[in-house]
Amino acid sequence: MSGALKLCRRRFLASVALLPALTGLPASAASLSGVKPPFSPFAGDPPRPINPAGWYFLTPDEAAMVEAIVDRFIPGDHLSPGGKEAGCAVFIDRQLAGSYGASSRLYTKGPFMPGLPTQGYQGELTPSGRYRLGLTRLAEHVRTHYAGRSFAALAPEQQDEVLTGLESGKIELTLTPGFSTRAFFDLMLQNTMEGFFADPLYGGNRGMASWKMIGFPGARYDYRDMIEKHNQPYPHGPVSIYGEHA
């Protein structure tokens, strides 16, 4: 039986099974069955590939700074392209412009209390708010200590000096209670790694560069032909969710 026929049969059986129950309800109660749920039954709702052009959240100056930062987190070499070329900044921009940046799936109302180290940030700022504040304060610090230049205009060694200072605590930005300079550094590093290894449809991992580097096969249907081939490299290139082959 084909998949389409199975689905049609399931829908028919489900609707028939409801008839006895509905016929025994009062008119007022039965009318409630016409209320539509906030989702579409049997809809896969797959994610849509992002448009890689332009910036949705970051300003041009912020985008240049983030591109420089991700390139120092993941410098290009003979194994893979750097973070900028791999699209990590685009990934971060699209995430900040979407539900992640707005914390739309999290409870964000007060009261705001200090959390345990395992609980992460507990304040009122969304990820997009934390990025905007952190990037603003970082730009101010760089202009003050590097003769008015931007982070993107610094030499790679100077950029590393700044990032190392953020990580070690040598540099303390004026942020907000509960959101430390180290937390800002960790947030950028975490999102950069996510962008480097995520499916390309989210804007990062262009050309599946990171998957090719580590030998990850991606979203292939199955690997039954490789189950018994222990300690052997996977011979095929990766495949993205939408079927793109590397």
What confidence tens digit (pLDDT) does each residue in 66-75 have?
999 999 999 9
What pLDDT, in 10s, does the model give residues 213-246?
Answer: 998 999 888 878 888 989 888 888 899 988 887 7
CA distances from 240 to 121, 192, 197, 207, 212 (A): 32, 19, 11, 9, 12
Q: Give the span between the Cα atoms of 151 and 158, in whole angstroms.
A: 9
Number of Cα atoms under 13 Å in the Cβ half of residue 41: 8
Note the pTM of the prediction, 2 decimals.
0.79
pLDDT-above-90 percentage for the chain: 58
What pLDDT, in 10s, does the model give residues 163-184?
Answer: 999 999 999 999 999 999 999 9
